[in-house]
Structure 1
Amino acid sequence: MKKLFGLVLAGALVLSARVEASNGNQYAGYGAQAMGMGGASIANPTDSTVAINNPAGMGAVGTRVDGSLMATAGQLRSNVHGSKNSDDVLLFLPGFGVNYQYLPDVTLGLAVSGYGAGVDYGKPIPAFGTSNVKSTLAQMLISPTATYEFAPGHYFGLSVKLGYESLMLHGLENFGATNDTGHAFGVGVGVGYLGTIAPGLRLGVTYSSPVWFQKMEAHEDIIPDGRLNAPQQAGAGLAYDMGDWTFAFDYVWINWASQKTFSNSLTQGGAPGAGNGPGFGWRDQNIFRFGVNYKVNERLQVRTGLSLANHQVPDGEATLIAVAPCNQPKSAHLGLTYKVNDEIEVTGSYMYDFRHITKGTGASKGTEAGGELHMLALGVGYKF
């Protein structure tokens, strides 16, 4: 087990070096089964990656190990004052979770998740600099998690979020950036509740603090305060079981506006690297996730879902969207799980991020970027 975990974690750190996401630098869904339901999982735990979505959900999944591999393919395009650029994406990102029923009312577990965005155009953008444009933001969170069942069917969960991040900027000399890669470690916490509030009806509530990262010395002269913290977020969900059907709904709020690097306007007015210096100009996101699961028989389940969110990049802040194309905030999902035997289940999921093109206005006029992405996930779960 230790060797398996070590291999999964090492692979996650390596392969997350460049990923694409939907809601800022986050995916619409985490966990192969949750992804098939549009990400709706705050009140509908299905495997040991649920700690990413709601720590309390680990209390309801028992002793198990889950691993997944997500493949992302698509096209990203941009046009910056007549300079047309493209990046054809083919990326792989692993996920991992493990949970142990330590006592009848206590579980101990761990989940690993990746976040990020990036492009590699293979040529310069004259408005940005003279070197080939390439950017990568990668964040990896390792979340040890404990839950306590304080009343029958009611769980409290706590996660400690241990983070590692890297930021590579290349080809942005006109903004004062050096062609370098910065690294930092961080920490945050997540808490959650999951409970059965009526026959067949579950409620989930969760909150995650920011993940506070160290300063990135390589970029402290360009990003506000030299820090790139992951934002705080909160969510609530409902799930209802009706015979062989399960219906789930989540609402998630991501507070990008609380983190200066994400929220400061590019025309903020302060010096690069200062607390009031230029940033990406993002705003908060409100995300609505809907999912339905149908149990065909004792071995097969099928599911579908939608994730709908506002675009976090205002049109007037689109100048840098060409190097951070996180602008496909609406997605459709499909999935299925096949139970091989009493211990092993295999899950496949598909997510399509709808094509979205952002066209800059005001100070960002002349810039547009966007694309569409397809994601396939294969997950394997083992119940003890």
Structure 2
Amino acid sequence: MRHLSKIIPLLVSFSFGSAWATDGYFAHGYGVRSQGVGGVGIALPQDALAAAANPAGLGKVGDRIDAGLTWFRPVRESEIEGNGFGFNGTYKGNDTQDFFIPEFGYNKQYSEDVTLGVSVYGNGGMNTDYKNGVRAFSSQGSAGVDLIQVFVAPTATWKVSEKHIIGASLNLAYQRFEAKGLQGFDNSTFSAAPGSVTNNGHDNSYGAGVHIGWLGEITDTVTLGATYQSRTYMSKFDKYKGLFAEQGDFDIPSTYGVGVAVKVTPALTLAADFQRINYGEVDAVGNASQANLFNGLGNDNGAGFNWQDAKVYKIGALYQYSPSLTLRAGFNHVDQPIRRGDTLLNILAPGVVKDHLSLGATWVLSPQSELSFSYTHAFENSVNGSNSIPAAFGGGEANLKMYQDALGVAYTWKL
């Protein structure tokens, strides 16, 4: 444990260059092994990152250290058409395109019934970078946003009976945010705090929440899991109190989910998760966009992105091909959080992908070490606006499009 004080700050620092956008702006899976099965993890713990999906999972993975890195490449595009002010055109938000997302997990079996560990991972985020700006926002130079969310989650599990484990994590959260190119909103007509809307550099936010979970072996072949993660209450982004509702407040929404894993044969395991992300409980994300646009950005009833709560469905297969090789595959589907009438502001956050296909593998290098890989493709998806641009901005429609690729590698050291 003495080395964690050095390793964790390094990983959080490295995460400054990272961005996510898969299940809305949450990661589709936590840890390279989970990513390889479509993000499944509530009833299928595979490594020391398992606490991100279900804290109770650390009670099943033993003494180990897992460290990994995922290369993530989102391709974002927006289009404005039918606009009376001449803002029509295609805008590509990919001037920053390649991101690298680290992960780290440590777990220790302290007694027959108790484990203690820590998981460090990117919970979510969003990045857009329109090199030439967005004319509808009166950009002066480039436009876009950069948001990351990192969790450091100390976790304890307790084996309450031979077949049942409960776990709890303290989610210590860090956020970093920047907005640029929004000069058209940086005035008293649109913002309650002009000067705190755009081009103020990065701002930091800190907070905490709790995550609890249960894992139960119902039969020799069936495992069930359930988890609840509270809303994570964050300090405000003071530099952007004129942009986000509630004077710069940007909490991380609560989630809950259930999972099942079935050992079909000694070699084949099938698993599935259901998760709900409560985006709407955070006003900066869930407040109506068009209807609240003239209420003053930054006010309690200021415009948000009007994201709906998202339901996420994950299914995966794990196949023990040989004693030294495990193969994985999975599929992940998320409901569309962005409404067609609110695509204008979501040019900044076009998290419209819905379907993800994943593949993965683990090679056993020695009794103490393993190497894992995953690849995920999020299929291209579009949301075309419907009455999405107000008459005050010249009317017309804003259309959003995105697809993504991710490639991860992780090393396991069994202690």
* TM-score, with structure 2 as normaliser: 0.89
> 1:92 matched to which residue of 2?
100
> 1:66 matched to which residue of 2?
66
User: C-alpha separation between the residues in 1 aligned to 2:72 and 2:17?
Assistant: 13
User: Which one of 123, 126, 142 corresponds to residue 117 of structure 1?
Assistant: 126
> 1:368 matched to which residue of 2?
399
Task: Report the Cα offset of residue 12 of structure 1.
Answer: 3.5
> 1:165 matched to which residue of 2?
175
SS at match of 2:366: coil
User: C-alpha separation between the residues in 1 aligned to 2:342 and 2:302?
Assistant: 14
> 2:222 matched to which residue of 1?
201
Q: Is the 8 A contact 2:352 2:383 kept in 1?
A: yes
What amino acid sits opposite 1:142 in the alignment?
V
* Deviations, residues 59-98 of structure 1 (Å, cap 9, x unaligned): 0111100011000124221123423222162111101111
What amino acid sits opposite 2:411 in the alignment?
V
Task: Report the Cα offset of residue 257 of structure 1.
Answer: 0.8
> 1:239 matched to which residue of 2?
261
Q: Is the 8 A contact 2:56 2:214 kept in 1?
A: yes
User: C-alpha separation between the residues in 2 aligned to 1:285 and 1:199?
Assistant: 33
More deviation in 326-335 or 248-257?
A: 326-335
* Deviations, residues 165-215 of structure 1 (Å, cap 9, x unaligned): 111000012223221132111110000000101121000000000110011
SS at match of 1:127: helix
User: C-alpha separation between the residues in 2 aligned to 1:328 and 1:351?
Assistant: 12
Structure 1: runs of 5+ lacking an equivalent: none
Structure 2: runs of 5+ lacking an equivalent: 81-86, 187-196, 390-395
SS at match of 2:13: helix
Q: Is the 8 A contact 1:257 1:263 kept in 2?
A: yes
2:249 is the counterpart of 1:227: yes
> 1:263 matched to which residue of 2?
286
> 1:304 matched to which residue of 2?
329
Question: Over alpha carbons, which structure has the higher Rg?
Answer: 2
SS at match of 1:198: coil
Q: Is the 8 A contact 1:20 1:326 kept in 2?
A: no
Matches within 5 A, 1:42-191: 42-80=42-80, 81-86=87-92, 87=94, 89-114=97-122, 115-131=124-140, 132-176=142-186, 177-180=197-200, 181-191=202-212
More deviation in 173-182 or 301-310?
A: 173-182
SS at match of 1:287: strand
Q: Is the 8 A contact 1:165 1:184 kept in 2?
A: yes
> 2:368 matched to which residue of 1?
343
Q: Is the 8 A contact 1:187 1:213 kept in 2?
A: yes
User: C-alpha separation between the residues in 2 aligned to 1:260 and 1:193?
Assistant: 30
* Deviations, residues 77-135 of structure 1 (Å, cap 9, x unaligned): 11234232221621111011110101110000000111211111211211112321031
> 1:381 matched to which residue of 2?
412
Q: Percent identity?
A: 29
Q: How many residues in Structure 1 have an aligned counterpart in Structure 2?
A: 384
SS at match of 1:340: strand
Q: Is the 8 A contact 1:224 1:260 kept in 2?
A: yes
Task: Report the Cα offset of residue 143 of structure 1.
Answer: 0.5
SS at match of 1:120: coil
What amino acid sits opposite 1:255 in the alignment?
N
Greater strand percent: which structure? Answer: 1
* TM-score, with structure 1 as normaliser: 0.96
User: C-alpha separation between the residues in 1 aligned to 2:282 and 2:35?
Assistant: 27
User: C-alpha separation between the residues in 2 aligned to 1:29 and 1:104?
Assistant: 29
Task: Report the Cα offset of residue 7 of structure 1.
Answer: 3.9
